[in-house]
């Protein structure tokens, strides 16, 4: 509580150029702000739990893995069936071995399509981020890496589709040879001769037909091997 005596003392100190607060030697009570505190305890580094905290991150794109893979598997199935139906007969396609091969090829193409899709989405996310003013040099470096990876994956897709075509071409002749061998084992093939004509060679024996089929098979395989990917 302020008193007349204290006020006079404060006035004298002010006239002498001394601050009454600094010059006041009255011990401070524990409730006053001048209470001398002991050394502050050392604070431990805080750990931020990003998993449990809500961070204001803007969503760049929607991504539903199962839905996207389902759509890409449908695309792969259409591609493989188009190749198989173009090369093989309906009866050949229905064989169990061919059906198993079709499912394997669908899975292979689906995985490749999925890689292309996810890398393309990441590239789009980078473009969206940079367009908002985040011009970190690392973004441009990653963008270049993704571009090269997507290009390589697209070439791999084309190469895989060509390999699938060659595989079904091989299957076609293998199935046909097997059928003809079974016919021969049943005594349905007879030895005969061939006679040249103006339009080619007249086949008078099923054995000659097998030989001609195998020759065409070898030619088809060589043609498939020479097929290469041409980058536009």
Going residue by residue through the chain (232 aa), what tens digit of pLDDT does each one get?
556 677 667 666 666 656 556 555 555 455 554 444 555 555 554 444 444 444 455 666 678 999 999 999 999 999 999 999 999 999 899 989 899 999 999 999 999 999 999 999 999 989 988 888 888 889 899 999 999 999 999 999 999 999 999 999 998 988 888 877 777 666 554 444 455 555 555 555 555 555 566 666 666 666 655 554 444 4
How far apart are the C-alpha atoms of 138 and 114, rounded to whole Å?
25
Which residues lie below 8 Å from residue 229, measured CB to CB, with a gap of 6+?
A: 155, 158, 159, 162
Evaluate whether 107 touches 79 at the Cβ level (below 8 Å). no
- Domain membership flag for residue 24: no
pLDDT at 181: 77
pLDDT at 19: 59
Phi first, then psi, for residue 106 (nearest 5°) are: -65, -45
**Of residues 201, 202, 206, 219, the one with CA closest to residue 177:** 206
pLDDT at 185: 65
Tokens of 25: 């030697």
- Helices 65-87 and 137-185 pack at an angle, to 10 degrees, of 40
How far apart are the C-alpha atoms of 124 and 131, rounded to whole Å?
11
Query: Which run of H or of E encompasses 129?
Result: helix 96-131
pLDDT at 21: 60
Phi first, then psi, for residue 195 (nearest 5°) are: -130, 120
How far apart are the C-alpha atoms of 110 and 116, rounded to whole Å?
10
Evaluate whether 221 touches 170 at the Cβ level (below 8 Å). yes
- Domain membership flag for residue 82: yes
Which residues lie below 8 Å from residue 42, measured CB to CB, with a gap of 6+?
A: none
- Domain membership flag for residue 13: no
**Which residue range forms the structural domain that includes residue 158?**
65-225
pLDDT at 102: 95
- Domain membership flag for residue 102: yes
Which residues lie below 8 Å from residue 221, measured CB to CB, with a gap of 6+?
A: 166, 169, 170
- Domain membership flag for residue 7: no
How far apart are the C-alpha atoms of 202 and 94, rounded to whole Å?
33
Evaluate whether 126 touches 139 at the Cβ level (below 8 Å). yes
- Domain membership flag for residue 14: no
- Domain membership flag for residue 59: no
- Domain membership flag for residue 221: yes
Three-class SS of residue 197? strand
Counted domains in the chain = 1
Phi first, then psi, for residue 191 (nearest 5°) are: -70, 150
Per-residue DSSP letter, 17:
T
pLDDT at 203: 52
């Amino acid at each position: 509580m302020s008193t007349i005596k204290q006020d006079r003392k404060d006035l004298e100190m002010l006239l002498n150029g001394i601050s009454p607060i600094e010059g006041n030697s009255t011990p401070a009570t524990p409730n006053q702000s001048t209470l001398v505190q002991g050394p502050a305890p050392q604070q431990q580094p805080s750990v931020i739990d990003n998993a449990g905290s809500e961070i204001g991150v803007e969503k760049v794109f929607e991504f539903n893995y199962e839905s996207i893979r389902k759509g890409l598997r449908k695309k792969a199935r259409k591609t493989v069936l188009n190749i198989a139906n173009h090369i093989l007969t309906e009866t050949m396609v229905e064989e169990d071995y061919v059906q198993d091969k079709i499912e394997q090829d669908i899975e292979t193409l689906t995985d490749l399509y999925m890689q292309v899709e996810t890398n393309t989405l990441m590239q789009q996310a980078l473009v969206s981020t940079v367009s908002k003013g985040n011009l970190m040099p690392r973004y441009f470096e990653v963008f270049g890496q993704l571009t090269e990876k997507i290009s390589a994956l697209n070439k791999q897709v084309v190469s895989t589709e060509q390999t699938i075509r060659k595989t079904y071409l091989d299957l076609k002749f293998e199935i046909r040879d097997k059928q003809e061998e079974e016919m021969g084992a049943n005594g349905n093939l007879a030895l005969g001769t061939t006679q040249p004509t103006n339009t080619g060679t007249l086949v008078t024996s099923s054995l000659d037909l097998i030989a001609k089929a195998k020759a065409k098979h070898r030619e088809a395989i060589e043609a498939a091997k020479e097929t290469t990917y041409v980058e536009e």
